[in-house]
């Protein structure tokens, strides 16, 4: 799961850098052409090189009635909603910076599209370091202890981000450093949180994983269409947004722990 978390973190961090290069070289329309080609390449790779790994006796029906019943069961599961919410809001606290990159980097930090790497490359390093550390801690710390450490790092980074934006003008490296630290904490907690989600339905991990992805994507859509535009007016409001979204994620995880203790 730590390795998966590295890939999960790399994609949204690298994408704006590639988009900046394509935009500068070929214009904004070329970005959509790139997406068509990239999507086609992924389809071909999945079709030819990713066969079904489950034996026939363990494969589940694709009948619409069975799927509807299964999805309803997952989305009515309280612990699933809380843990998926924790994952989604933790990520959105960083993702608002990805969504706000043109304003954050070009207007507030006065960088060009080709200099987007000033935020995204350190951000990737933070994610990869956190995921690597999470893998090293596997078997040494419990999942909950690892998650607690991750939230501690994320909380410290969010608080540092607000403090820096209150005390200093936007600029490098002070405006980017807290994001790197936050990504480390987020990647540290993400694999353990994901495993908690998957273990809710051990016989249907593929189903619950797809539902968790749906929650993540829906939350990202809300962040893109509503939250980020409300916050990108200043670096301080972005910092406060990071802290607020992290707080929602922490509350969701805390509610999960409270529910576990209450029912155990």
In a domain, 243, yes or no: yes
Query: From first to last of its 264 residues, what are the pLDDT tens digits of the chain?
Result: 767 766 766 776 677 778 888 988 899 899 999 999 999 999 999 999 988 887 887 777 777 888 888 889 889 888 999 999 999 999 999 999 988 988 998 889 888 776 777 777 788 888 888 888 888 887 788 888 999 999 999 999 999 999 999 999 988 888 899 999 999 999 999 989 999 999 998 888 888 999 999 999 999 999 999 999 999 999 999 999 999 999 999 999 999 999 888 876
In a domain, 250, yes or no: yes
Radius of gyration of the chain (CA): 19
pLDDT of residue 82: 95
Reported pTM: 0.83
**Number of structural domains found in the chain:** 1
Q: What's the token pair of residue 251?
A: 């509350």
Q: Which domain holds residue 194?
A: 2-51+64-263
In a domain, 95, yes or no: yes
In a domain, 29, yes or no: yes
Secondary structure (3-state) at 55: coil
pLDDT of residue 13: 66
pLDDT of residue 237: 95
Residue of 172, 180, 175, 150 lying closest to 161 (CA atoms): 175
User: Three-state secondary structure along 73-138?
Assistant: HHHCCHHHHHHHHHHHHHHHHHHHHHHCHHHHHHHHCCCCHHHCHHHHHHHHHHHHHHHHHHHHHE
pLDDT of residue 7: 74
Judged on CB neighbours under 10 Å (0-12, 13-18, 19+), 231 is buried
In a domain, 56, yes or no: no
pLDDT of residue 156: 97
CATH code for position 162: 1.20.1250.20
């Amino acid at each position: 799961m730590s390795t998966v978390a590295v890939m999960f973190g790399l994609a949204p961090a690298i994408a704006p850098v590639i988009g900046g290069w394509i935009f500068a070289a070929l214009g904004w329309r070329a970005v959509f052409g790139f997406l068509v080609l990239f999507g086609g390449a992924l389809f071909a790779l999945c079709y030819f090189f990713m066969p079904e790994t489950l034996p026939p006796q363990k494969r589940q029906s694709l009948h619409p009635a069975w799927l509807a019943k299964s999805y309803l069961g997952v989305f009515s599961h309280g612990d699933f909603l809380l843990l998926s919410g924790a994952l989604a809001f933790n990520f959105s606290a960083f993702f608002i910076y990805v969504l706000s990159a043109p304003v954050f980097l070009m207007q507030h930090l006065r960088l060009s599209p080709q200099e987007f790497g000033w935020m995204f490359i350190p951000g990737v390093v933070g994610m990869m370091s956190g995921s690597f550390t999470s893998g090293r801690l596997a078997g040494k710390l419990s999942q909950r202890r690892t998650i607690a450490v991750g939230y501690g790092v994320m909380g410290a980074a969010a608080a540092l981000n607000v403090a820096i934006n209150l005390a200093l003008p936007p600029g490098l490296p002070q405006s980017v450093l807290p994001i790197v630290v936050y990504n480390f904490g987020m990647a540290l907690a993400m694999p353990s949180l994901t495993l908690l989600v998957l273990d809710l339905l051990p016989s249907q991990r593929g189903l619950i994983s797809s539902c968790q992805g749906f929650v993540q994507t829906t939350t990202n859509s809300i962040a893109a269409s509503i939250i980020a535009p409300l916050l990108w007016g200043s670096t301080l409001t972005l910092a406060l947004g990071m802290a607020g979204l992290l707080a929602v994620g922490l509350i969701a995880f805390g509610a999960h722990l409270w529910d576990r203790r209450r029912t155990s």
